[in-house]
Amino acid sequence: MKKFIKNFSRSLYYLNALVQVAVVSSVFVLCLKELFSHGNVPIDDHATILPLIIFSALFLFMTGTYDIMNKRSIELVITGVLAVLLSDLAAIVIIRTYSFIWFTLSDFVLTYLMQIAALSAWIAISRIIYRKFKKPQKAVVVCYDIENTDSYIKKIRGYSDKYEIIDIISYNDANLYYSICQSEAVFMLDLSSKKREKVAQYCLALNKNIYILPESYEISVRHCHLEQIDDIPFFSCKPLLLTLEQKLIKRFFDIVASAVALILTAPIMIVVAILIKKDDGGSVFYKQERITENYRKFNVLKFRTMVQNAEELSGATLSTKDDPRITKIGKKLRALRLDELPQLINIFIGDMSFVGPRPERDIFIQEYIKTVPEFIYRLNVKAGLTGLAQVRGKYNTTPQDKLKMDLLYINDYSFVNDLKICFLTVKVIFSKESTEGIDGEVNNKELFEAQQNKN
C-alpha cells in the first residue's frame, strides 16, 4: 500500500475525492433521516440522494478541495466550506421540488456545520496519511544568480511537506552534477534555454524530477500538436486568441451572471455608498481609464477607497502596503473586495468580462512592455473582474509572474475553468495576502504627507 501511494499520487487524489464526496453526502443523509425520522420521507429516492452526490462532487472539484497534495490544510477547509454550502443549497432546491422536503434555517445550519466538521476532520486525516507515505522530495535548486531567485526559493521552502531543499547551487559551480546526483528533484530558475537543456538532459539520464520556471513564450506554445510536412516534424501552435464560439459563450454568461449579481448586490452597494459618503463627504465612485481587449480604452468603475484626488501629487502610482492614501472605510472595502462591485456594470455593458486578465492603466502597460514585451499578449482577451492571477497569486505578485498566469488562462481557456476561477475568487476574499499592496519604489507615505502639508 505504501509503495502504491508513493508511486501513484493520482490514485490518492481520486481516492480522497471519493471519500470527501462520501463524507459530505452521508452526513447530509444521516441528518435528513434524523430530522424527518417521524415522517414519510423518501430518503432512498433518486431525487433525494443523487442530486447531493452530484452537486457535492461537482463543487468540491470546482473549488479544488480534492487537491490535498498541493494545498495547505487551511486552504482546503476554506474551499470546502464554500463547496459544501453551494452543494447543499443546490441539492435542497432539487429535493424540495421532487420530494417536498424543506429544511428550516436551524436545521440547515446544524446539518451544514456537521458536514464541515466531518469534512475538516477527513482533510486533517488525509493530510497526515499523505505526509506519512509521501515523504518530501530532496530537491536541489539550480540557478544562475542566487540573489535574483531568492523570492522563488522562499516560496518553495513554504511547501516543506513536499520539498526539502538540500542545496542551492549556481549553474557554474563545479559540484553541480554531484549535487544533482544526491537529489530526487531539481528546480531550474533563472537559466537560459541552453543551460536548462544541459541540466535537463543530465536529470533525465538519472531519472530525476524536473521543475522548470517557464518563460512567457513557452507558456504561449505549450499546447502544440505534432504536424509532419513531408519528412519534417513541426510543432503547430495556435495563437493566443479565443474562438468566436468561445467569445459568444463567454459573453452570454457575462450578461446573465452580471444582471443577476447586480440585482442581488444592489442593497450592499447602497449601504457601501452611504458609508463612503458619510466617511469624508467625497464622491462615492471612482473612475479610471483602463485598457481592455485590442488596446481599447474604457473607464473602470469602483467604489472610492482613497482620499479625494489621491494621485494629484504622486501621479500614476501603484498602491503600496499600508498606503496612507487609503481611507478607513477603504481598507475594509478592499479587504472584502467590495470596492470592485461597481465593475459588474462594466461587465454588463461589455467593457469587461467576469474572468480575464485584470485591466491595467496605459502608463503601466507601457512600462511593463519595456522589460517584458510579452505583456501585450494579455490584451488578446477582454479584461476581467477576476482571473487566474488573482486566485493563484497575490496583489503583490510580480508583473512577470502575473503575466505567466494570464497567459496560462488564455492558453487553457474553457467555460469550466471560468467557473472554477469564479468559485476560487470567493476563497481569495478571505486571504489577507491577496489584498496586500506592493512594496513599491515610490514612498507614498512621504508623498501623502507632503500633499497634506501643501494643503
Residue-wise DSSP of 259-310: HHHHHHHHHHHHHHHHHHHHHHS--SEEEEEEEEGGGEEEEEEEE--B-TTT
388 vs 452: which has the higher pLDDT? 388
362 vs 435: which has the higher pLDDT? 362
CA–CA gap between residue 289 and residue 303 (Å, rounded):
15
198-209 pLDDT per residue, tens: 999 989 999 999
Predicted pLDDT at 38: 53
Q: What is the largest CA-CA distance in the chain?
A: 78
139-186 pLDDT per residue, tens: 999 988 777 788 888 888 888 878 999 999 988 888 888 999 999 999
Three-class DSSP category at 41: coil
- CB within 8 Å of 81: residues ≥ 6 apart: 116
308-347 pLDDT per residue, tens: 766 665 555 656 556 677 888 888 888 778 888 999 999 9
Q: Which of 333, 380, 323 is nearest to 357 (CA)?
A: 380
CB 278 within 8 A of CB 319: no
DSSP 138: E
Three-class DSSP category at 160: coil
pLDDT at 396 over 80: no
Average pLDDT value for residue range 39-61:
72
Predicted pLDDT at 450: 43
Query: For a pLDDT cut of 90, what percent of the chain falls above it?
Result: 29
What are the DSSP calls for 54-69, one per residue? HHHHHHHHHTTTT-TT
Q: How confident is the model at residue 193 (pLDDT cuts 50, 70, 90)?
A: confident
Predicted pLDDT at 296: 93
β-bridge mates for residue 10, sequence order: none
* Helix, strand and coil in the chain, % to nearest 5: 60, 15, 25
Q: How confident is the model at residue 120 (pLDDT cuts 50, 70, 90)?
A: very high
Which residue is listed with cell 463543487?
Answer: 59
What is the value of pTM for the model shown?
0.75
pLDDT at 436 over 80: no
Q: Where are the beta strands (DSSP E) in 36-182?
A: 137-143, 163-170
Average pLDDT value for residue range 32-38:
68
What are the DSSP calls for 391-423, one per residue? HHS-TTS-HHHHHHHHHHHHHT--HHHHHHHHH
Q: How confident is the model at residue 102 (pLDDT cuts 50, 70, 90)?
A: low
451 vs 289: which has the higher pLDDT? 289
